[in-house]
Amino acid sequence: MSTARENILIYIAAQVGAITGLTVFRSREAAIARSEGAVLVLKPLEEQVVKIANEIALRELHVTLTLIVRGVVPDSVADPYLAQITGLIQSDTTLGGLAARCIEKTTRWDMQVADLTALIVELTFLVKYLTPTASASLAS
């Protein structure tokens, strides 16, 4: 049985995986080669848990999506991907009924010197969902 958290990550990966020209990885730590093109790495960052009733916990999962692109003007290369990523995730803020709400939180840009200028853009989303307090592993 998948956990509610894993189902949320799978849903987000499937949504952004539909973007043409973008390769999506889950929790990749290896370096990205120029030959891989535009890459998006999806991973959970942290989760806060608040007990809201005797048997219900509100979980606040911070998810990061790190976009890596290269180009002469890399922010111009990244912009259409960023618009599509945000649009797809925010088109259903319940993430297919898996979450109470998905909220876009931050976007950070970081230019790196490389064979072409590389840009790393980190988008952070806050996903709120409910689980029983007795088990974080139960699916929602």
Q: Of residues 108 and 112, which shows the higher confidence score?
A: 108
Return the percent helix, strand and coil in the chain, to nearest 5.
25, 45, 30
The model's pTM: 0.90
Give the chain's mean pLDDT. 91
Task: Name which of 25-29, 81-85, 116-120, 134-138 the model is least confident about.
Answer: 134-138
Q: Cα–Cα distances in Å, from 120 out to 32, 38, 81?
A: 11, 10, 12
pLDDT computed for residue 41 by the predictor: 97
CB within 8 A of 92, min separation 6: which ones?
none
> If you compute the radius of gyration of the chain from its CA atoms, what whole number of angstroms results?
16
The token duo for 7 is: 């189902």
pLDDT above 60 for 45: yes
pLDDT in tens, 65-101: 999 999 989 999 999 999 999 999 999 999 999 999 9
* 34 residue type, one letter: R
Report how far residue 127's alpha carbon sits from residue 140's, in angstroms, rounded to the nearest whole number.
13
Question: Domain 4-132, CATH 3.30.70.1400 — does that match?
Answer: no
> Domains of the chain: which residue ranges?
4-132
Report how far residue 50's alpha carbon sits from residue 93's, in angstroms, rounded to the nearest whole number.
20
CB within 8 A of 80, min separation 6: which ones?
none
How sure is the predictor about 140, in pLDDT bands with cuts at 50, 70 and 90? Answer: very low
pLDDT computed for residue 2 by the predictor: 83
pLDDT above 80 for 122: yes
pLDDT above 80 for 30: no
